[in-house]
């Protein structure tokens, strides 16, 4: 049995998710954007031990609490290597958004297309879906309730990510959406980087940015 808990965290209310094997209590944290105390409280309530901290991309609002979670858990913290330059640009991102500069952590550039991260019975698949940023990834996990997709800022309910920030590419985001994300099962639940959940089928039918 796998538990997924999602809640907004950090300065821009990024959706942070805890993906937990309910038996072994091993967990993966997706996008700890900020509010370390809140993340800690939720992990504590679940009795969870963090094995990995992963990021859909390296905008500051998705990585703000990574160092704090890492220090507490000693878990590996991972991004896609193509977003490394954005981690180096954190001071610029902080200045642009007017948010405090978070503490830095040793980030592994280990998220690769087709790879899988494990925590107990949790198997989190990685799809490289560039466009919003060069190292944007989408995570896919199968649970007893079906497939869950963590799309970061690549796909939102009725929207897609902006491509006017560092390294954004409007052609690439469309290619990622069509070839990697819309090919997932219709009934897969999508947890976007911000805002409400949706499903792949619903977005294929109703997302105006994906209409031909
Ligand atoms: Zn973003
Ligand atoms: Zn975001």
- Reported confidence tier of residue 212, pLDDT bands at 50, 70, 90: low
- What's residue 82's pLDDT? 98
Q: How far is the CA of 1 from the centre of ligand 1 (A)?
A: 31
CATH number at residue 85: 3.60.15.10
pLDDT at 182 over 70: yes
**Helix extents (H) in the chain:** 36-46, 60-63, 66-73, 84-88, 90-97, 170-176, 200-206
Among the residue ranges 17-21, 38-42, 99-103, 153-157, the one predicted with the least confidence is 99-103
- Residues spanned by the domain of 205: 2-210
User: Model-level pTM?
Assistant: 0.97
Q: Using the mean position of ligand 1's atoms as its centre, give its distance from the Cα of residue 130 in Å.
A: 11
Decide: helix, strand or coil at residue 200.
Answer: helix
Q: What is the DSSP letter of 154?
A: T
**Token pair of 60, please?**
């500051």
pLDDT of amino acid 200: 98
Q: How much is the pLDDT for 190?
A: 98
Q: Which ligand is nearest to the CA of 31?
A: 2
Q: Domain tally for the chain?
A: 1
Mean pLDDT of the residues in the chain: 97
In tens, the pLDDT along 24-42 reads 999 999 999 999 999 999 9
For residue 83, the model assigns a pLDDT of: 98
Distance between Cα 23 and ligand 1 center (Å): 33
Q: Let me know the angle formed at the C-alpha of 110 by 155 and 174, rounded to the nearest 5 degrees.
A: 25
pLDDT by residue (tens digit) across 86-144? 999 999 999 998 999 999 999 999 999 999 999 999 999 999 999 999 999 999 999 99
In the reported structure, the alpha carbon of residue 154 is separated from the centroid of ligand 1 by a whole-number distance in angstroms of 8
pLDDT of residue 211: 81
Calpha distance 156→68 (Å, rounded): 27
């Amino acid at each position: 049995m796998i538990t997924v808990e999602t809640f907004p965290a950090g300065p821009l209310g990024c959706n942070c998710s805890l993906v937990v094997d309910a038996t072994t209590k091993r967990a993966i944290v997706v996008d700890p954007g900020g509010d370390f105390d809140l993340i800690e409280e939720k992990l504590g309530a679940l009795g969870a031990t963090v094995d990995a901290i992963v990021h859909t991309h390296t905008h500051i609002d998705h990585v703000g609490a990574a160092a704090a979670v890492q220090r507490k858990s000693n878990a590996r913290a991972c991004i896609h290597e193509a977003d490394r330059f954005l981690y180096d640009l954190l001071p610029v991102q902080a200045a642009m958004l007017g948010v405090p500069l978070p503490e830095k952590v040793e980030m592994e550039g280990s998220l690769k297309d087709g790879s899988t991260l494990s925590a107990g019975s949790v198997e989190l698949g990685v799809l490289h879906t560039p466009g919003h940023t060069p190292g944007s990834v989408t995570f896919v996990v199968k649970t007893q309730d079906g497939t869950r997709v963590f799309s970061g800022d690549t796909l939102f309910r009725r929207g897609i990510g902006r491509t006017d920030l560092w390294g954004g590419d409007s052609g690439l985001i469309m290619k990622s959406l069509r070839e990697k994300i819309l090919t997932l099962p219709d009934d897969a639940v999508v947890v976007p980087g911000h805002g409400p959940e949706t499903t792949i089928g619903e977005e294929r039918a109703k997302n105006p940015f994906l209409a031909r």
